[in-house]
Each structure stands twice: as C-alpha cells, then as structure tokens.
Amino acid sequence: MADTAATPDMLSWTCPAPLRDRPRVVMGHGGGGALSAELVEQIFLPALGGTARAALTDSAAVELGGARLAFSTDSFVVRPLFFPGGSIGDLAVNGTVNDLAMSGARPAYLSCGVILEEGVELDTVVEVAAAIGAAARTAGVRVVTGDTKVVEAGHGDGVYLNTAGIGLIPPGVDLRPERVVPGDVVIVSGAIGLHGVAILSERENLRFGTDIESDCAALGGLVEAMLAVTPDLHVLRDPTRGGLAASLNEIAVGSGTGIVVRERSVPVPPPVASACAMLGLDPMYVANEGKLVAFVPREHAEAVLAAMRGHERGAEAVIIGEVVEEHPGMVVARTALGGTRVVDMPLGEQLPRIC
Amino acid sequence: MADTAATPDMLSWTCPAPLRDRPRVVMGHGGGGALSAELVEQIFLPALGGTARAALTDSAAVELGGARLAFSTDSFVVRPLFFPGGSIGDLAVNGTVNDLAMSGARPAYLSCGVILEEGVELDTVVEVAAAIGAAARTAGVRVVTGDTKVVEAGHGDGVYLNTAGIGLIPPGVDLRPERVVPGDVVIVSGAIGLHGVAILSERENLRFGTDIESDCAALGGLVEAMLAVTPDLHVLRDPTRGGLAASLNEIAVGSGTGIVVRERSVPVPPPVASACAMLGLDPMYVANEGKLVAFVPREHAEAVLAAMRGHERGAEAVIIGEVVEEHPGMVVARTALGGTRVVDMPLGEQLPRIC
C-alpha cells in the first residue's frame, strides 16, 4: 500500500518508469495501475513479442478457422474467498466474462485452473466450485476444461483461481481505444466503488451504517443490449483494479484524446462515499466488478443510454463526461465547485488482492 | 506423499472413493491420479454440470463461429522454477500446447496468467518471461493475452503460471478414448521418466552418474506428422502427472478395453532406471513433458511409427503394447520374466509439484 504514495513522475505510465530500480516484486505490481503496466510493458511484452497496445485491452481478438474470437484470462487471488455480494468463484466467472464482453464478444466457453493450498477444507472447495457453477449458469457460459494443482501449506492462500474465456465477436463490432474521438460521450452503467469497499469492509470487519455488497455481476447481456442499438460503440471497459480512474486513463492514453468527467455526475452511493471519506480512499480508484464505462458516438448516446437503463445491469446508467481535443492522454474532472483536477493513473492499487 | 501408500480399494478411480472422509486437501489431490480424479468427479464436475468423460480428456472440443476448436488450461507450480532441460516457462507453454495437440488440434494462441509472490526478484520474472517467449516461438504459438496478480510473501512460491490455449481441430480428426478398440497398437514417442527424475534430482541435489535433463518439449509438430499419415488415429495422450501408468489407465477406463504393455519394450533410459531403483520409484509413474502415447489402428501402425521416427520428437518411438478384449478397464504389463502384473492408476503423485 505504501506504493500508492509515490513521487509525481511515477504517476503516468506513458513515460518509462524506473522499474529496474525496484529489484523485487511489490504488492503494487498487481494493482492494475502504473506499476502493473511497467511490469507488462517492460518485462512481458518484450519477451512475448507483443506491442504496447496489447497491454491496453482486456482481451485479445484473434481469428481461427474463419471465426473472429475474443480470448482473455485473469487469475483471482481475492482475500477473503467469500465476501458480501460474491466470492472468488463469482469473480472468476464474471471477471473473464466481462473482459470478453468488453470486446463486444458474446462470451461462450471458460477454462478454470485451480491452485489449492494443502490443508484447505474440502467444504471450502465445494463452496467455491458451486459458486463457479452458479455464476457460469447465470452468465450463460460453460466451463469446459479445467485443471487442479496443490501446493504445500504456506505457499498459497486456500484457493487461487484462473479462468480464461473465448467468445465470438459479431460482425461490424470493433471496440478499441483508438476509435475514441473528441465528441464521444462517456457513460457509466451504474454506481461505482461497491466491490472494493465491500471487500475492505469484510476484511477489516468495518461497518459503514449500511451493509455494502459487491456489484460482482456478468455484463454480457448488458453489452448485447447496447450493441443492439448500434454496433458502432467505440470502446467499452470494466473498471476493475485501479477503478474508473485507471480505465479512463488507459483510454485517454490509448486514444490520444482528453477526457473530461463531471465529478457530480459520477454515481457514488452515499455508503461508498462515507466509507471512502473515512478511509482516505478516492471512489474513482476503487474497484468495480459489475460495471462498465462506454465511449459512444454522440449521435447514439441517448439511444444507448436508454437501452442500458432498460437492462437490469444498467438501470442506473448515467452520462459522466465527454471526450475533448484538449489535454490528450489526460483525464480531468470538473469539480462541484467549478474547478478542475487531474485524475491520474494510479500507481498501484489502494486495496491489494481485491480480485 | 503418504497418500501413494493407500488401501487397495482406493487404487481404481472407477469406483467412488471416500473423498469426504478426507476433510482437507492433501498434496495427492494435485497429483493427477485417483485423488485428483475424485476431486474433479465429486466436486468440480457436479458443480459445473460436466460429465465424467470431460475429466478424461486433456482439452475440450467446442464449436464457435463454425470453427471446431480445442480449448485447454493448466496451472504450473513446479519447484524449482528452473531445472535441467527447462523451466516453469517452458512447461507452461509446452504443457498447454501438448494438451491441444493431443486432441489433434494445431495449437494457435495461448493466454498466460501470472501469480507473483511479493519479494520475488524481478530478474527471476524476466527469466521466466523470456522462457515463455522462447518456448512459444519454438512451438509456433502466440501468447496473446495475459494477467498478473501479486500475493503477499508467504502466500505463493515465487512464480505460479497458468496458460490456456486454443487451436483448430482439422476436419476428420476425432481423438478420444471411446474410439479405442481391441487390436489397436500402443506407441510411445520416446524415453519415459526424464522430466520427473530431472526435477527430483535438481530439487534434492542428487546425481545419478549421468545428468538427466527434462524432456520438456512441444509436440504439435510430431502430431501433425502423425496425422499426415492418417487422420484416423484413435487417441493421443501426453503422460505428464501420474506418468504413462495414469495415461494408460485413463484410456483403458475411457474405452472399456484392456491394455497389455510389454514391460521390456517400454523405453526407460538407464540413468532413469538407476535413479528410480535407488529412490523406490516406478518409471511408469514418473512424469514426462515431451512424450506422447498413441493408440493407432493396427493397419496404420507401421506407417505412423515410421512418420514418428522421422520427426525429431519421435526419433525413438516404439511399439509398447496393444489393446485387448480381456480385462476391460485394466492395464496389464507382461514382465521380462514372462509374468504379468497389474499397472494400477496411481493414487496421487510420487513427486509433488513437478509441473
């Protein structure tokens, strides 16, 4: 957590950050912020022959046998395994389903890799498996292949999961940051900050007046409803690790445009606001697991918003901002008092192991 | 390891084993033997709505957008991360590539999930990434999507990897245990036992006269050469965890046939034989990471064998046995002395964390 307090020149991942000054992995490398990006851009992409663009997307688009597929993976190390509103099993299914959905694909099949720690109760494994199964049925996907490994006590934490997923990208759908242009409207599908605050409250046994539940949910249906309005959405992103701030920054960098957000329009539920105020967190940086942010051409914005509001997972969708030509690569928030502030890329993650 | 010494009625995974009598996960649950099968058949398959058959294959065959795809996943927790002949990065690529190849698919794309332990040296991460990249290039696949998580020191072991992969299954190829019939010829692509003994010798700092290197390698090219002879191979399997014994037992159970192996024909290199004799291991149960066992219709056996021997990865291929009507579901070895012995399904794994 110390890594979130960083020197200013570490806060933008567009400039090469001094990764090699840190000889060892720190928790922030897994936070979905600038440190994660460094790890990917300076170590994995060069080794794997990828491009920087690849690091900016939730899933890969590949062609195989004439089919245009989305392919994505995530590992899950959330602590605790069960929390208000979900579990590691729900996250593992919905996380990968949502990564696929963000490319416009209809999620179809999942793999599931399980790393168990010696000594974990089999009843816990049963509960996790049941959660995976239930979440897959709700999301309309099938887990078709899996693997189990066991590590000695003290080399794991009960259960770690990995899922990978494949889905079919419909013709005409091409969602990526490069398609974002000034004038695009920024829509969020509902309240932010619920997942991170739910995990933290469970972990630290805090209560904030109202019980806060994770928003963990599959977004495939919502995306389908949006694409039914027009296949010409520009980009979708589910703001997980690093929160809305990280997603908006990734899109600003990837598109080379500026993003302006009206702070008052960002839907932060009062219990999340109170919890964040008490804990010194910024809701813009807190993880979500059942929300998306959409960049939509202005002419389709109202129709897409209406379609979102007509879907269970987008009932509270709202326009929060727009894309501008000014300050390319930068996200700016207009505050309630009429001022502006820069919404930086987070360095690490305010809360480790939230997914 | 204590789990490998089990009561006889635990040694066949066709009868329901008393999993629920063990309230906690033991190392053997990750060994690829009967305990692993119990975990899958009694916990994961019921929760995920799968069938027992699914547990018997290395990858799933699915249709998407008109393409017939193989989809597979494996997690890798090998200790140590680097060993003679390979590393966790090589295993992660070749393990999943081989699972895809065993369905006859041409491996195409991989995902890679990384779980890092806080405090691991970044140089180690660089070496693992380089190994993944090099192995992928050698295997002719591309790693197109990835994810990194970090867990606190004491909740991991340096680096854990997961890969999932997709590949295209060519028309006319239908590899599965159910297609095995009496008369089929059993071919092994080369020497067995190298991987497990290499890991063990590195881990325990043992030397067995000659240095033994892991056989870790990608088998996609070898399978292509075999399928070029005839698409009508019946089943292929790479004997990893649980060794050749586990693979043969899975096929015997899955096909409802009996398998007879001539013990003297099974290629066990002298250093492996010495190491196994010294350590009380049976080479038939030791893991391989670059070998396959093929069940081939008798009329194609010689041509397939010749094609294998013409390929770098099958130069030492040899016929080790055949499929019979007798003792369905059971594997029997004819010993050098003219006797026979039952080759049981292993309960766990002789060596934990070998992949």
Partners of residue A144 in chain B, C-beta under 8 Å: 50, 54, 60, 62, 71
Residue in A162, A163, A241 to test binding to B, most B beta-carbons within 10 Å: A162
The ipTM estimated for the assembled molecules is 0.91
User: Is-contact B203 B196, C-beta < 8 A?
Assistant: no
Could you read off the pLDDT of B119-149 as tens digits, one per residue?
999 999 999 999 999 999 999 999 999 999 9
Burial class (CB in 10 A: 0-12, 13-18, 19+), A79: middle
CB burial of B178-214 (b: ≥16 within 10 Å; e: otherwise) equals ebbeeebbbbbbbbbbbbbbbbbbbeeeeebeeebbb
Residues 6+ apart with CB under 8 A from A321: A185, A186, A259, A260, A261, A262, A265
Q: Is A74 on the interface with B (CB under 8 A)?
A: yes
Nearest partner of B266 among B282, B252, B280, judged by Cα: B282
Task: Give the whole-angstrom CA distance, residue A352 versus residue B11.
Answer: 42
Q: A142-151 and B235-237: which strand pairing?
A: unpaired
Q: Residue A322: what pLDDT?
A: 98
Residue in B28, B114, B154 nearest the CB of A154: B154
CA distance B18 to chain A (A): 12
Cβ-defined contact of A67 to B65 (cutoff 8 Å): yes
Q: Is A51 on the interface with B (CB under 8 A)?
A: no
Residue in A26, A40, A126 nearest the CB of B148: A40
Task: Give the whole-angstrom CA distance, residue A167 versus residue A243.
Answer: 25
Cβ-defined contact of A111 to B65 (cutoff 8 Å): no
What is the SS3 assignment for A353? coil
Residue in B73, B132, B142 nearest the CB of A111: B73
Determine the residue of chain A that is closest to B169 in CA distance. A65
Secondary structure (H, E, C), chain B? CHHHCCCHHHCCCCCCCCHHHCCECCHHHHCCCHHHHHHHHHHHHHHHCCCHHHHHCCCEEEEECCEEEEEEEEEECCCCCEECCEEHHHHHHHHHHHHHHCCCCEEEEEEEEEEEECCCEHHHHHHHHHHHHHHHHHHCCEEEEEEEEEECCCCCCCEEEEEEEEEECCCCCCCCHHHCCCCCEEEECCCCCHHHHHHHHHHHCCCECECCCCCCCCCHHHHHHHHHHCCCCCEEECCCCCHHHHHHHHHHHHHCCEEEEEHHHCCCCHHHHHHHHHHCCCHHHCCCCCCCEEEECHHHHHHHHHHHHCCHHHCCCEEEEEEECCCCCCEEEECCCCCEEECCCCCCCCCCCCC
Cβ-defined contact of B152 to A27 (cutoff 8 Å): yes
Q: Is B306 on the interface with A (CB under 8 A)?
A: no
Residue in B39, B48, B136 nearest the CB of A148: B39
CA distance B53 to chain A (A): 11
Looking at chain B from residue 99 to 118, which residues have their Cβ under 8 Å from any Cβ of chain A? Answer: 108-109, 111-118
Give whole-number Cα distances, A39 to A162, A185, B13, B129, B196, in Å.
19, 31, 43, 11, 32
Task: Give the whole-angstrom CA distance, residue B209 versus residue B229.
Answer: 40
Q: Residue B248: what pLDDT?
A: 97
Q: Is A148 on the interface with B (CB under 8 A)?
A: yes
Partners of residue A126 in chain B, C-beta under 8 Å: 43, 47
Cβ-defined contact of B24 to A113 (cutoff 8 Å): no
User: Is-contact B224 B294, C-beta < 8 A?
Assistant: no
Cβ-defined contact of A71 to B166 (cutoff 8 Å): yes
Task: State the count of interchain CB pairs (< 8 A) between A and B.
Answer: 284
Task: Give the whole-angstrom CA distance, residue B302 versus residue B319.
Answer: 9
Nearest partner of A75 among A111, A103, A105, A107, judged by Cα: A111
What is the SS3 assignment for A301? helix
Q: Residue B82: what pLDDT?
A: 96
Radius of gyration of the CA atoms of chain A, in A: 19
Residue in A73, A87, A169, A347 to test binding to B, most B beta-carbons within 10 Å: A73
Q: Please, what are the averages of pLDDT over each run of 10 residues along chain A (355 residues)?
A: 29 37 86 85 87 65 94 96 97 98 97 96 96 97 94 97 97 95 98 95 79 95 98 97 95 97 97 92 95 98 98 98 98 94 85 87
Residue in A68, A69, A156 nearest the CB of B156: A156
Percent of chain B with pLDDT over 90: 77
Q: Is B138 on the interface with A (CB under 8 A)?
A: no
Give whole-number Cα distances, B262 to A21, A234, B239, B281, B339, in Å.
58, 63, 17, 19, 10
Whether cis (ω within 30° of 0) applies to the bond prior to A80 is yes
Nearest partner of B320 among B216, B189, B231, B214, judged by Cα: B189
Q: Residue A206: what pLDDT?
A: 79
Taken as a whole, chain B contains a residue count of 355
Residue A87, φ and ψ in degrees, nearest 5: -155, 175
User: Is-contact A41 A52, C-beta < 8 A?
Assistant: yes
Burial class (CB in 10 A: 0-12, 13-18, 19+), B152: middle
User: Is-contact B266 B284, C-beta < 8 A?
Assistant: yes
User: Is-contact A43 B125, C-beta < 8 A?
Assistant: yes
User: Is-contact A209 A224, C-beta < 8 A?
Assistant: no
Cβ-defined contact of B113 to A73 (cutoff 8 Å): yes
The full set of domains in chain A, from first to last, is 60-171 (3.30.1330.10), 177-342 (3.90.650.10)
pLDDT < 70 positions in chain B: 1-21, 50-56, 208-209, 349
Determine the residue of chain B that is closest to A24 in CA distance. B121
Cβ-defined contact of A144 to B28 (cutoff 8 Å): no
Give whole-number Cα distances, B77 to A139, B87, B100, B101, B119, in Å.
30, 11, 20, 22, 17
User: Is-contact A208 A196, C-beta < 8 A?
Assistant: no
In the block, which residue shows the tokens 């292929």? B236
Give whole-number Cα distances, A20 to A200, B124, B140, in Å.
31, 12, 30
Q: Is A228 on the interface with B (CB under 8 A)?
A: no
Beta strands of chain A (E only): which ranges? Answer: 60-64, 67-76, 82-83, 86-87, 106-117, 142-151, 159-168, 185-188, 235-237, 258-262, 293-296, 318-324, 331-334, 340-342
Cβ-defined contact of B118 to A71 (cutoff 8 Å): no
Q: Is A5 on the interface with B (CB under 8 A)?
A: no
**Measured at the alpha carbon of residue B231, what is the angle toward residues B226 and B234, in degrees to the nearest 5?**
85
Q: Is A265 on the interface with B (CB under 8 A)?
A: no
The packing angle between helices B270-279 and B194-204, to 10°, is: 60
Partners of residue B1 in chain A, C-beta under 8 Å: none
Residues in a beta bridge with B168: B69, B106
Q: Is B142 on the interface with A (CB under 8 A)?
A: yes
Q: Residue B143: what pLDDT?
A: 95
Residue in A48, A113, A125 nearest the CB of B75: A113
Residues 6+ apart with CB under 8 A from B203: B79, B80, B83
CA distance B265 to chain A (A): 31
Q: B258-262 and B331-334: which strand pairing?
A: parallel
Residue in B155, B169, B353 to test binding to A, most A beta-carbons within 10 Å: B155
Cβ-defined contact of B25 to A118 (cutoff 8 Å): yes
Cβ-defined contact of A64 to B166 (cutoff 8 Å): yes
Report the C-alpha dihedral over residues B147, B151, B157, B161, rounded to 10 degrees: -10
Partners of residue B136 in chain A, C-beta under 8 Å: 48
Q: Residue B20: what pLDDT?
A: 47
